[in-house]
Amino acid sequence: MTIERLEGNLREHTSLHVGGGAKQLVRVSTDQELIDLVRDLDRRNVPLLILGGGSNVVCADSEFPGTVIIVSTQGIDWIGDHVVVAAGEDWDAFVSYALAQGCGELTPLSGIPGSMGATPVQNIGAYGVELAEFIEHVEVWDRTSGTRRTMTAPECEFEYRDSTFKKNPNRYVVLTVRLKLIKTLDVPIKYLQLANVMNQAVGTTANAIEVRDQVLQLRATKSMVLNSVDTESNSTGSFFINPIVGHSDVPQTCPSYPLPASDPRVETHMKVSAAWLIENAGITKGFHLGTEDSSIRVSRNHSLAITNTGQGTTEEVVKLASHIRQQVFDSYGIELIVEPVLINCELDQLKVN
């Protein structure tokens, strides 16, 4: 039996370090036990929360009224250029391992915290690269049909930080992810900031070992790698995604980026910099509500992240995020979309005048 019962509360199992307890908190290490447990909980209508590394969730301060399962399944199987990775494997450890096998294409995604099982949920991305480019299929337990099934990439409906898994939060349990990785250490540089630190032009290629090194260094300067001695990294990464607006609605001088070619709106819409919108709406790095010693604030190193440098609460996170969203809306008429998954909590209603 590999179901391990855990003590403590969600504060200890999430990177923002907020959240109350749970009626039941367990760690599961095999697919079969995971499926059996989920099936049993669903049969009894017990609320369920699946977690990997807890780096993209904001859980309510109140107790979770059901079972929280932390997925810790392990396994990496190569079949030629294809690799099947268990949901509980650590994402960044896998990027490093794939690089050691001569597969360097994932290195722009180095340093993103969390588990393999969560990577398709929001189609993780960084420095111009998205996981969807590599996914062949995702094996899931489908809680609606009560079947184990394989979902092809089109069935996963990947979009910018979105997928069918994120849109249907209570339907799928990701068991494994199958990627196609070719043996190459030549990595295309697609993002200006990365190109600049590498003294190269966008569109050129660089050695994957160098790319990983530079990405990890760049991310560390923004507290975008988890680091127990850097309390600014107690976050969910970016709290808001870059909003997508029509070409004519891009605010003057706001950095904007084309959508991925797969997006049907690519001709008519642009992604605009949420960081620019926040800063230009008057929210500076380090901004906080309440008293000077408030633990919940905008990161001092990254205006898109909300950090918890002490014993802050979800209520404070929600208040600050609501304030930021309202300020941006009042300044630019653009509604910021929250990136992490909110569990039993929500932002204040946006006031539209």
Ligand X SMILES: Cc1cc2nc3c(=O)[nH]c(=O)nc-3n(C[C@H](O)[C@H](O)[C@H](O)COP(=O)(O)OP(=O)(O)OC[C@H]3O[C@@H](n4cnc5c(N)ncnc54)[C@H](O)[C@@H]3O)c2cc1C
Q: If residue 29 lies in a helix (H) or strand (E), which one and from where to where?
A: none
106 interacts with ligand X by CB under 6 A: no
> In one letter, which amino acid is 233?
S
* 213-219-224 Cα angle (round to 5): 140
**Going by DSSP bridges, is the β-strand pair 82-86/76-79 parallel, antiparallel, or unpaired?**
antiparallel
Q: Is 238 tagged catalytic?
A: yes
Q: Is 339 tagged catalytic?
A: yes
> In one letter, which amino acid is 7?
E
Tell me the C-alpha to C-alpha distance, in Å, between residue 12 and each of 71, 176, 304, 311: 15, 25, 23, 11
169 interacts with ligand X by CB under 6 A: yes
Residue of the chain from 28, 57, 241, 317 that contacts ligand X (CB under 6 A): 57
Q: Residues 15, 72, 110, 238: which is the catalytic one?
A: 238
Q: Which tokens in the block code for residue 321? A: 């995020």
Nearer residue to ligand X within complex by CB, 302 or 329: 302
119 interacts with ligand X by CB under 6 A: yes
Nearer residue to ligand X within complex by CB, 17 or 269: 17
117 interacts with ligand X by CB under 6 A: yes
Task: Say how far residue 86 (Cα) sits from the centre of its chain.
Answer: 18
Q: How far apart are CA 189 and CA 204, in angstroms?
A: 6
Nearer residue to ligand X within complex by CB, 30 or 331: 30
- What would you report as the CA-atom Rg of the chain, rounded to the nearest whole angstrom? 20
254 interacts with ligand X by CB under 6 A: no
Residue of the chain from 15, 273, 295, 326 that contacts ligand X (CB under 6 A): 15
How many binding residues for ligand X (CB under 6 A)? Answer: 35
Judged by CB under 6 A, the stretch of 109-117, 152-160, 180-188, 259-267 that binds ligand X is: 109-117
Closest distance of CB 353 from ligand X, Å: 33
Closest distance of CB 163 from ligand X, Å: 10
Of residues 219-248, those binding ligand X (CB under 6 A): 224, 226, 233, 235-237
Q: How far apart are CA 154 and CA 23, in angstroms?
A: 37
Q: Which tokens in the block code for residue 95? A: 């990027």
Q: How far apart are CA 176 and CA 168, in angstroms?
A: 18
Closest distance of CB 121 from ligand X, Å: 4
312 interacts with ligand X by CB under 6 A: no
Q: How far apart are CA 307 and CA 256, in angstroms?
A: 25
Interacting residues toward ligand X by CB under 6 A: 15, 50-57, 71, 87, 112-115, 117-119, 121-122, 124-126, 165, 169, 172-174, 224, 226, 233, 235-237, 341
Active site residue ranges: 161, 238, 339
